[in-house]
C-alpha cells in the first residue's frame, strides 16, 4: 500500500513540475509588461483615492459625545485608510515585481 502511495506522489510531483514549466514558457515579455503597466496604473489611481479618503477623514472628525461611538468611528476610519493604502502599495509592489520579471525575461535563454 505504501509503495502505491509513493508512486502516486511521484507521478503527481512530475505533473505539477511539468505544468509549472509550461506555464512560465508560455508567458511572453509583453504579458509581463502589460501586467506591470496595469498594476502601476491601479497603484497611481488608488494612491489618489487613498489621499482623498485620508484628507476627508482628517477634515471631518466625528462629533459624538459618547466615548464608545468615537472610539468605534475612529477605529473604522483607521481601518478604511489603512486598507486603501494597503491596496495602493500592494499594486505598486506587484507592478514592480512584474517589471523585474519583464527585464529578467530578456536575459533567460530559451531552451
Q: pLDDT for 65-103, tens place per residue?
A: 888 988 999 999 999 999 999 999 999 999 999 999 999
The model scores a pTM over 0.75: no
User: Long-range contacts of range 51-60, CB-CB < 8 Å, 24 or more positions apart?
Assistant: 53/80, 53/81, 53/84, 54/81, 54/84, 54/85, 57/81
Q: Give the mean model confidence (pLDDT) for residues 39-51.
A: 96
Say yes or no to pLDDT of 22 above 60: no
- pLDDT at site 41: 96
- pLDDT at site 16: 55
E strand spans, 12-99: none
Amino acid at each position: 500500500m505504501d509503495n502505491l502511495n509513493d508512486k502516486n506522489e511521484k507521478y503527481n510531483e512530475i505533473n505539477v513540475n511539468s505544468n509549472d514549466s509550461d506555464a512560465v514558457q508560455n508567458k511572453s515579455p509583453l504579458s509581463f509588461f502589460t501586467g506591470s503597466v496595469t498594476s502601476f496604473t491601479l497603484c497611481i489611481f488608488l494612491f489618489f483615492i487613498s489621499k482623498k479618503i485620508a484628507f476627508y477623514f482628517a477634515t471631518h472628525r466625528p462629533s459624538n459625545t459618547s466615548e464608545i461611538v468615537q472610539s468605534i468611528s475612529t477605529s473604522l476610519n483607521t481601518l478604511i485608510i489603512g486598507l486603501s493604502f494597503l491596496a495602493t502599495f500592494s499594486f505598486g509592489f506587484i507592478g514592480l515585481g512584474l517589471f523585474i520579471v519583464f527585464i529578467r525575461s530578456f536575459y533567460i535563454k530559451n531552451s
